[in-house]
């Protein structure tokens, strides 16, 4: 079957690239946030709930105020509040951070659905994009290379986070709390406080990731908005070996896999559409199996994590 | 770094744990630039004393005077501000970070954004004034034990601590490494740049490097003075009081030449996936002790882990009594194989379980410890524990005490009691006397020799060459995962073995 457009198979490649940048944005923010949280020695499994909560609050605030960026900020604040709740509760003695995360996952989605009911109908202003395809005369290329502003922010944030972990006092303290809690205590830092602040910062980023879903792509608020991106982003942190730059590339890879189905459809290959839709999940499984080993410990894993102990 | 340390006086330090009086009115005077050794049996209260000084424990009575003034030290941070620094037997470094990151981490005035070029210049200048140096760019995880211990000390000095407390700092080091570090410490004290308190079990270190010594027994100061006025025998007598030291067990001729444990072409990978044990083959006969010498980190840990089934080999065969040995619990029991691993608190115990439970790991499901074959009898476990505590002289508040509350040496005794109390056919022991006082060391060595005389095949992996020369019938040397040299007891020579341990000739 010949491709139906004038760009031929190049159309598929460009559509996958453009789709990758679009779809990867929430993965990128959630995984950067979770990387920061896990570097401090905690796992926040509740980020899916934070993501949905961020999407809802961003949409509501953008609709009510008319400013999408104010929506992004409020989404971040809502995420930080969830992070504070997670961090605070997990600091209590005999509380497991994984269990708290699951509880907050359910709480976040439930609360967002409840509070978000009135905002399913109205239309909120959307976030702007950067036209990377302006040089081209082809409308397909221009459409595919419209990169959203939040993706650009995320792409800058990844190296910034890596730098911060190595070049700031806070970076060193966070890594110490995540790798050797006794050492952090001996230095006089409160391990609970360091972890709670890291979880708040991680929640902020996940909330911002959620605002992307409602304010850019798909760009509306409804209850089926997130299909587990918040959970997959946590798995993604493991493949990325807790490295922010790797988070960026792995997010792109996931985004590309998700964009594969629609891209093929755009050139007329509609059969097996649902099969391609499963690509990111299959990719998750393949990467999980390929990167696991019964013999080796996970390289790069913060040793205080409950999952690596 | 030029400022001299202040004078320190510790007066009447007392600490109770429940019914146990761990520390009973101990006093200690540290003039600026002194080098003070603290000796004592396992459980004598040495660690408790320094933890009270450092603010980890709140003493029930006692005062600390620094520079002539009394200070209430409520937590380690306050102790740090007064100039106290502590180096532990276990490492407190952050393994995923570099040497430089570990050094700057504790600085009180660490800026929010770290200018690494400036910090590196500071570190370089500091290291030039130190007796030893470590490449600041290396990740700590790649350092050998000796280098890590040096870094711990460097870190304290870099952070400006003037009174260093070292709690058994040399137990993970080779004698040469230990001497090098202690000599450097001694020089720093002679220049009055540092005051050192050294907790140790080794008379050689106390007599060779310290100027003063304090001996504790059962929580009390029972003696001490200037090192130059004291002999090894004086110290030993103060430490154990009226108790007697078991005689070294005599080596009896054993007739059997049956093979107890056999390892053939064994290859083992370490955690990073590189080869740690390379094509190792060895046989241990019944009634024989085969010693494995080597500097730590040459594959000994992985070898023992495979034999203990904590790790799967990449290839090779393990046989016990001629039969293939899959290391299951049933086979361990059938072949009577026992293992004393390194670092027992991490590898062979559950620290939050009781002493009685830890003592029963081998046999809690035996008929004699169960009711009807499946219900574990607490009473039987307690009775067994009481007997073992008595026989192995484990110093514990009781069978129900959580294992982590025991002193380091007593944890070791607990594991020994579990692994040596039954009839042993094959014994695999790694550094069995690390952290034990001299009386306990003599006792454990006698028990290992006793097991051999009774016909056990013993594989003894040790970093202490003297221990191997005393106990082993045969010694093999492990270097970079290979068994590179073998010698019988008669022809064994410390110099040659040391040469093979350091490099392949
Ligand atoms: N946290 C605690 N709770 C209860 N008992 C304790 C605790 N810490 C220490 N002890 C007890 O206090 C006594 C002294 O222990 P300490 O650790 O000071 O001995 P040590 O002289 O350092 O011995 P070792 O040479 O074996 O390290 C021991 O009997 C120990 O069981
Ligand atoms: Mg001790």
Residue A49: which CATH number? 1.10.3470
Closest CA in chain A for residue B80: A187
To which residue do tokens 């139906």 refer? A4
Question: Does the pLDDT at position A309 exceed 50?
Answer: no
Question: Does the pLDDT at position B106 exceed 70?
Answer: yes
Chain-centroid distance, C-alpha B410? 12
Q: Which of B270, B340, B303 is nearest to B482 (CA)?
A: B303
Mean pLDDT calculated for residue range B70-90: 87
Any residues with CB less than 8 A from the CB of A25 and at least 6 apart, and which? Answer: A148, A150, A151, A154, A209, A212, A216, A217, A251, A255
What is the C-alpha separation between A91 and A125, in angstroms, rounded? 39
pLDDT at position B409: 82
**Mean pLDDT (chain B, rounded):** 90
What is the C-alpha separation between A65 and A165, in angstroms, rounded? 36
- CA of residue B277 to ligand 2 center, whole Å: 33
Total structural domains within chain A: 1
Residues of chain A positioned with their CB less than 8 A from the CB of B105: 172-173, 176, 183, 187
Shortest distance between the Cα of B80 and any Cα of chain A, in A, equals 9
Domain residues for the domain of A40 are 5-308
Q: Which of A56, A300, A40 is nearest to A190 (CA)?
A: A40
Identify the bridge partners of residue B39 per DSSP, sorted by sequence position: B215
Please give the full DSSP string across B18-56, using - where no structure is assigned: TTEEEEEEEEEEE-TT-EEEEEE-TTSSHHHHHHHHHTS
Shortest distance between the Cα of A206 and any Cα of chain B, in A, equals 25
pLDDT at position B342: 83
Q: How confident is the model at residue B76 (pLDDT cuts 50, 70, 90)?
A: confident
B288-293/B457-461 β-pairing? parallel
Q: How confident is the model at residue A4 (pLDDT cuts 50, 70, 90)?
A: very low
**Interface contact flag, A172 B97, Cβ < 8 Å:** yes
Shortest distance between the Cα of B353 and any Cα of chain A, in A, equals 17
All structural domains of chain B, each given as residue ranges with its CATH number in brackets, are 8-240 (3.40.50.300), 259-502 (3.40.50.300)
Question: Does the pLDDT at position B283 exceed 60?
Answer: yes
Q: Phi and psi (nearest 5°) for A108?
A: -60, -50
Mean pLDDT calculated for residue range A178-207: 92
Comparing A46-55, A73-82, B458-467, which segment has the lowest mean pLDDT?
B458-467
Q: How confident is the model at residue A218 (pLDDT cuts 50, 70, 90)?
A: confident
Identify the bridge partners of residue B429 per DSSP, sorted by sequence position: B340, B460
Q: How confident is the model at residue A62 (pLDDT cuts 50, 70, 90)?
A: very high
pLDDT at position A2: 43
pLDDT at position A307: 59
To test ligand 1's pocket by mutation, which of B39, B48, B399, B438 has the most ligand atoms within 8 angstroms of CB? Answer: B48
Question: Does the pLDDT at position B1 exceed 50?
Answer: no
In this prediction the pTM is 0.78
| C-alpha pair distances (Å), B375 with each of B366, B370, B372 | 10, 5, 6
Ligand 1 site, CB within 6 A? B 17, 20, 22, 40, 42-48, 395-396, 405-410
**Mean pLDDT (chain A, rounded):** 88
Which of B96, B103, B151 to substitute to test the interface with A, most A CBs within 10 Å?
B96
Q: Is the dihedral of CA A170, A176, A179, A185 positive or negative?
A: negative
Q: DSSP 3-state assignment of B135?
A: coil
pLDDT digits (tens, 9 = 90+) for B200-239: 988 889 999 999 999 999 999 999 999 999 999 899 889 8
């Amino acid at each position: 079957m010949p491709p139906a457009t004038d760009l031929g198979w190049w159309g598929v490649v460009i559509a996958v690239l453009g789709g990758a940048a679009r779809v990867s944005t929430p993965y990128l923010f959630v995984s950067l946030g979770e990387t920061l949280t896990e570097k401090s020695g905690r796992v926040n499994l509740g980020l899916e709930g934070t993501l949905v909560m961020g999407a809802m609050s961003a949409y509501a605030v953008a609709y009510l105020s008319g400013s999408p960026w104010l929506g992004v900020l409020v989404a971040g604040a809502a995420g930080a509040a969830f992070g504070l709740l997670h961090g605070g509760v997990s600091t209590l003695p005999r509380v497991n951070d994984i269990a708290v995360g699951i509880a907050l996952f359910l709480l976040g989605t439930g609360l967002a659905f409840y509070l978000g009911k009135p905002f399913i109908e109205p239309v909120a202003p959307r976030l702007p994009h950067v036209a990377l395809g302006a040089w081209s005369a082809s409308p397909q290329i221009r459409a595919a290379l419209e990169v959203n502003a939040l993706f650009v922010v995320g792409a800058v944030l990844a190296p910034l986070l890596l730098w911060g972990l190595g070049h700031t006092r806070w970076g060193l303290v966070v890594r110490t709390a995540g790798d050797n809690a006794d050492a952090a205590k001996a230095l006089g830092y409160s391990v609970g406080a360091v972890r709670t602040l890291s979880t708040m910062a991680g929640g902020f980023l996940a909330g911002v990731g959620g605002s992307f879903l409602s304010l850019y792509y798909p760009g509306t608020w409804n209850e089926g908005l997130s299909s587990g991106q918040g959970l997959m982003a946590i798995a993604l942190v493991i493949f990325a070996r807790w490295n922010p730059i790797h988070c960026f590339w792995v997010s792109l890879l996931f985004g590309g896999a998700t964009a594969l189905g629609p891209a093929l459809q755009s050139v007329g290959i509609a059969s097996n559409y649902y099969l391609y839709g499963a690509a990111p999940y299959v990719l998750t499984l393949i990467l999980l199996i390929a990167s696991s080993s019964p013999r080796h410990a996970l390289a790069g894993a913060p040793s205080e994590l409950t999952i690596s102990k | 770094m030029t400022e001299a340390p202040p004078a320190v006086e510790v007066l009447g330090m007392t600490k109770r744990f429940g019914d146990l009086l761990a520390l009973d009115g101990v006093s200690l005077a540290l003039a600026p630039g002194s080098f003070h050794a603290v000796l004592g049996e396992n459980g004598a209260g040495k660690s408790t004393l320094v933890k009270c000084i450092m603010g980890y424990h709140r003493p029930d009575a006692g005062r600390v005077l620094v520079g002539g003034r009394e200070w209430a030290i409520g937590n380690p941070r306050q102790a740090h501000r007064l100039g106290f620094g502590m180096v532990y037997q276990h490492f407190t470094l952050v393994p995923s970070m570099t040497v430089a990151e570990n050094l700057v981490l504790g600085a009180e005035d660490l800026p929010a954004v770290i200018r690494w070029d400036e910090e590196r210049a500071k570190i370089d200048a500091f290291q030039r004034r130190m007796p030893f140096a470590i490449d600041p760019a290396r990740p700590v995880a790649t350092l050998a034990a000796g280098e890590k211990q040096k870094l711990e000390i460097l870190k304290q000095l870099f952070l400006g601590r003037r009174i260093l407390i070292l709690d058994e700092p040399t137990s993970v080091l080779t004698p040469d490494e230990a001497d090098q570090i202690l000599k450097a410490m001694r020089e720093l004290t002679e220049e009055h740049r540092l005051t050192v308190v050294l907790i140790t079990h080794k008379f050689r270190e106390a007599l060779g490097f310290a100027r003063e010594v304090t001996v504790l027994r059962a929580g009390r100061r029972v003696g001490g003075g200037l090192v130059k006025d004291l002999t090894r025998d004086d110290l030993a007598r103060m430490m154990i009081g009226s108790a007697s030291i078991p005689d070294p067990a005599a080596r009896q001729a054993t007739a059997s030449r049956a093979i107890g444990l056999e390892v053939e072409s064994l290859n083992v990978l370490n955690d990073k996936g590189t080869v740690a044990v390379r094509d190792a083959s060895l046989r241990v006969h019944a009634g024989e002790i085969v010693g494995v010498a080597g500097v730590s980190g040459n594959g000994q840990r992985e070898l023992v882990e495979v034999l203990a089934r904590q790790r799967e080999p990449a290839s090779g065969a393990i046989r016990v009594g001629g039969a293939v040995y899959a290391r299951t619990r049933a086979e361990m029991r059938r072949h009577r194989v026992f293992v004393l691993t390194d670092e027992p608190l991490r590898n062979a115990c559950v620290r939050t379980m009781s002493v009685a439970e830890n003592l029963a790991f081998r046999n809690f499901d035996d008929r004699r410890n169960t009711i009807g074959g499946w219900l574990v009898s607490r009473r039987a476990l307690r009775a067994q524990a009481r007997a073992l505590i008595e026989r192995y002289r484990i110093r514990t508040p009781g069978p129900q005490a959580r294992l982590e509350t025991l002193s380091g040496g007593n944890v070791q005794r607990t594991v020994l009691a579990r692994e040596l109390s039954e009839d042993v056919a094959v014994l695999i022991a790694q550094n069995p006397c690390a952290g034990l006082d001299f009386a306990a060391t003599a006792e454990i060595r006698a028990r290992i020799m006793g097991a051999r005389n009774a016909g056990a095949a013993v594989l003894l992996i040790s970093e202490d060459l003297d221990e191997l020369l005393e106990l082993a019938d045969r010694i093999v040397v492990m270097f970079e995962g290979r068994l590179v040299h073998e010698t019988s007891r008669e022809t064994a020579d410390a110099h040659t073995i040391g040469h093979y341990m350091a490099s392949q000739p």
